[in-house]
A and B are shown apart, each in its own frame.
Chain A
Amino acid sequence: MVMLIFALLLMQQIDSSPARAHPQGPRTIAIDERLAADVGLKLGDRVIVSGTTGGGGDTVIVGAIVRRSADPSEIARGEYRVRMHLDQLQRLIGYGERVDRFAVATRSESSTVLAQRWINDAAFGFRAHRSRDIAVGTSKTFLVVTRFHRAIGVITIVASAIFLLCIMLLKVDERRRDIAALRLMGISARTIVSSIVLEAAFVAVLGSALGIGIGWLSSTIVNWHYRAVYRTPLIFSLVTRDVVTLAVALSLVLGVAAGFLAARRLAKLPPLALFGR
């Protein structure tokens, strides 16, 4: 399969065409549904395509409207895509017999490696790349965004940790009289610390469950919004099992640590001091 991708200027829908026509009549093109929606084109419409503005073009018929695949590399680009016959495009843009790239299908992973090596040994002026490597290269936009999100995530975790510690400290501090009474009744400091840690863990799990719900809802809204903005089937936000596990684990560890630190601080004090005497 040979593909040649080039920006074409799609001219206005025509009534009477000054453009060239193919000997067998106008040829067909495929346009993406974004272009069809924006320009108001439908199947069977005749348009003129040209490589230059104002230059002569070819009259073609819209033969297919296609939905583009989810491609992260194109996400921020609002461009349209037209697919047409190779020879016609080469002629329109004065490209001669050149192409931008060949896509080569292979039978297996091993034959891909062999084919790549063979082509690169024999080639002059071009190189063979594995589709997987190209995909990695063209996904750089998302890799950068992922790194950015991760950094923001770390800041958020630090803020959450401090917030949680502060809240647990306040919560435990509020019960200093209860703790004093328990100590005076003979309950050991260890039991008191354990009960507060248990309570902190319970609060953390409950908070995590609520957080997962809010996260899932936010994720749904984010996907709905950005899919509409960029008109793409891409998934922008995904709540995976790993993400949930990490969030719950972090919350649990932070909650328990905060509860333990706050409880130990009070449990060390003499009961009468806790009463304020």
Chain B
Amino acid sequence: MLFTLAFTSLMRHRARTVLAMLGVAVSAAMLLDMVMLASGMRTSFRSLLLVRGFQLRIAPKGTLPFDTEALIDSASEVRSIVQAIPGVTTVSPVLGGQLRVELRDRVVAATALGVDPTVQGDYEVTAGREPKAPDEVAASDELLEAIGARIGDTLWVATGFDPQLRTYVSRRPVIVVARAHFLYAALGQRMIGAPLATLQSMRGSEAKDRTSLFMVRVGNGVDVEAVRARINDAAPKVTATSIASAMKFVDERLSYFRQLAFVLGTLSLFVGFLLVTTLVTVSVNERIGEIAVLRAIGVRRGRIVLQILIEGIAIMLSGAIAGLALGLVTGRYLDTILSDFPGLPAAMRFFLFEPRDAWAALGLLFACGVLAGIYPSWRGASLPIATTLREEAIA
């Protein structure tokens, strides 16, 4: 009965109800997007860092991995020190650099990563096999496409140019043995993975026994923060960064998006609330005579309150369900825009859907629906019956 009355009341002004639901749907879509934005970046970045199970990154003292061109000196010594720390299971060295791939008519630049193929955590081989010999490399789809090469092809690569002699520096042939997906590459970035020793020798004295970073995996149940502290104590030339400290850094750099998500999410909620409050209030004002009659024939005040609350919640929830679907579509579109953000890994997602986000958005909208119905239901339930009936009769 209660639901039938609420439904009838909403259907009395269909255009108005449909418009309100549409308004709530857009607000709900925006709200879901903002909830996804607020938590998506962190979740996505965290899972990206942990994708290969490395919980710690070690970079030159005072820097973050690949944030500067600084290198870790005496890399083999640092690696031995870190490897000896209890709880450390894997230490993976990485050296970054630029390589030029020579073609007949042009030169294509690529970002090179020198890794230890047995423990590397920077790429996943999608075709071919892991490069092991000094002259073997793995290349990203983007690079292979740009140079028109395939697995098995030989490439001539160099680390730079000598403008005076008009020759390439450290020029050597390499064989592409794998097509790989580089986990931390930016969108469209051309990548090449080579054995660490190969890249070190190509970069010459500036990279001799040096690396850009180490990735460290610790055993199950080992306190990562304790290992981090021990690394920082044992190797004073480096700074170890855990996932937690990396997250803090990301929070600082991308705080703008979290703040934007908070502001826009709050605004969306407020707009939805305002819309439903206005609509239900007007609806109650229009039928105060009807409410007074219901009260006069013995319908309890609580039932009136409940009926009006149900109207508010019904508009809010029906709009919200449509809005959540709309939010997923707009979220995907907004994510494609932000995936062009320079310097960020292409695999990072800003709008990452998780069921808890949808529940959070629904919960907030439900609460708003209840709040939106409070004022009109109080007004409807507290009408003086006799006076209202008389005024309505005169009108």
Q: Which of A6-37 contact B (CB under 8 A)?
A: 6-7, 9
Flag A107-139 by CB within 8 Å of B: 1 or 0 each. 000000000000000011110000000000000
* CB neighbours of B252 from chain A (8 A): 78
Tell me how many residues of B have a C-beta within 8 Å of chain A: 55
Q: A126 is contacted by which of B62, B163, B341 (Cβ under 8 Å)?
A: B163
* CB neighbours of A53 from chain B (8 A): 60-62, 70, 73, 236-238
Interface centre among A79, A159, A165, A226, by most B CB within 10 Å?
A159
The complex places the Cα of A124 from the Cα of B160 at a distance, in Å, of 11
Flag B231-267 by CB within 8 Å of A: 1 or 0 each. 0000011100000000000001111100000001000
* B129 shortest CB reach to chain A, Å: 33
Tier of interface size on chain A: 35 or more
* CB neighbours of A54 from chain B (8 A): 61, 73, 236-237
Interface check B337, CB cutoff 8 A: yes
* Cβ-defined contact, B63 with A7, below 8 A: yes
Interface check A76, CB cutoff 8 A: yes
Q: Total number of A-B contacts with CB less than 8 angstroms? A: 118
The complex places the Cα of A76 from the Cα of B206 at a distance, in Å, of 29
* CB neighbours of B278 from chain A (8 A): 166-167, 170
Chain B contact surface mostly:
helix
* Cβ-defined contact, B206 with A7, below 8 A: no
* A267 shortest CB reach to chain B, Å: 15
The complex places the Cα of A148 from the Cα of B67 at a distance, in Å, of 25
* Cβ-defined contact, B16 with A166, below 8 A: yes
* CB neighbours of A77 from chain B (8 A): 67, 253
* Cβ-defined contact, B163 with A166, below 8 A: no
Q: Which of B336-374 contact A (CB under 8 A)?
A: 337-338, 340-342
The complex places the Cα of A54 from the Cα of B264 at a distance, in Å, of 47
Given contacts A144-B338, A163-B275, A166-B16, contact A52 B161 (CB under 8 A): no
Q: List 27 A-B contacts (CB under 8 A).
A: A7-B67, A7-B68, A9-B70, A52-B60, A52-B70, A52-B71, A53-B61, A53-B236, A54-B61, A55-B73, A144-B337, A144-B340, A144-B342, A147-B337, A151-B337, A152-B264, A155-B26, A159-B26, A159-B27, A159-B271, A163-B23, A163-B275, A166-B19, A169-B16, A173-B16, A173-B282, A174-B286
* Chain B contact residues, CB within 8 Å of chain A: 13, 15-16, 19-20, 22-23, 26-27, 29-30, 60-63, 67-71, 73, 160-163, 166, 168, 205-206, 236-238, 252-256, 264, 268, 271, 274-275, 278-279, 282, 285-286, 330, 333-334, 337-338, 340-342
